């Protein structure tokens, strides 16, 4: 399966998580492209079977740079799917709406949600990531494999 992981990472937590995730998916036999939103233009996304978008939340909202990026993306593969990952201080807060905001933008695009998104907790504003974040990403990879029957 061809997977594109597109992330925004303010303090390196999202990059760390998505690098781990990409390496794990590669070990499972997938072709993975990992890129920052600052390395690619939204209308030039590579054609993929699955897009994983990851961004930090700021005060319960998705960061502006990812929101603007998602608003401009063009998906060429009509059979493509997506999964979302957020890094945030308090994933259980009812005020944390980052995933919902990303989903709202993507509803307007030519892309289908594969499964529920994942919130990874950062322990302070600049990190580090919660212990055990790798297991959460491993479980998400298994969800991807079973959902797409690969």
User: In this predicted model, what pLDDT tens digit does every residue of 88-117 receive, in sequence order?
Assistant: 999 888 889 999 999 999 999 989 999 999
Are the C-beta atoms of residues 111 and 78 closer than 8 Å to each other? no
Distance of alpha carbon 37 from alpha carbon 55, whole angstroms: 10
Q: What is the dihedral of CA 131, 93, 16, 49, to 10 degrees?
A: 120
Are the C-beta atoms of residues 87 and 129 closer than 8 Å to each other? yes
- Of the candidates 123, 140, 119, the one whose C-alpha atom is nearest the C-alpha of residue 20 is 140
Over the stretch 26-65, which tens digit does the pLDDT of each residue have? 999 999 999 999 999 999 999 999 999 999 998 889 999 9
* pLDDT of residue 150 exceeding 60: no
């Amino acid at each position: 399966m061809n997977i594109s992981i597109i992330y925004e990472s303010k303090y390196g937590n999202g990059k760390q998580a998505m690098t781990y995730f990409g390496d794990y998916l590669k070990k499972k036999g997938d072709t993975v492209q990992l890129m920052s939103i600052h390395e690619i233009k939204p209308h030039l996304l590579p054609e993929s079977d699955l897009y994983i978008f990851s961004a930090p939340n700021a005060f319960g909202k998705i960061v502006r740079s990812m929101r603007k990026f998602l608003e401009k993306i063009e998906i060429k593969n009509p059979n493509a799917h997506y999964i979302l990952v957020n890094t945030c201080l308090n994933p259980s807060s009812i005020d944390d709406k980052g995933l919902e905001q990303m989903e709202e933008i993507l509803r307007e695009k030519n892309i289908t949600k594969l499964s529920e998104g994942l919130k990874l907790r950062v322990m302070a504003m600049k990190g580090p990531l919660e212990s055990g974040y790798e297991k959460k990403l491993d479980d998400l990879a298994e969800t991807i494999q079973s959902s797409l029957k690969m």
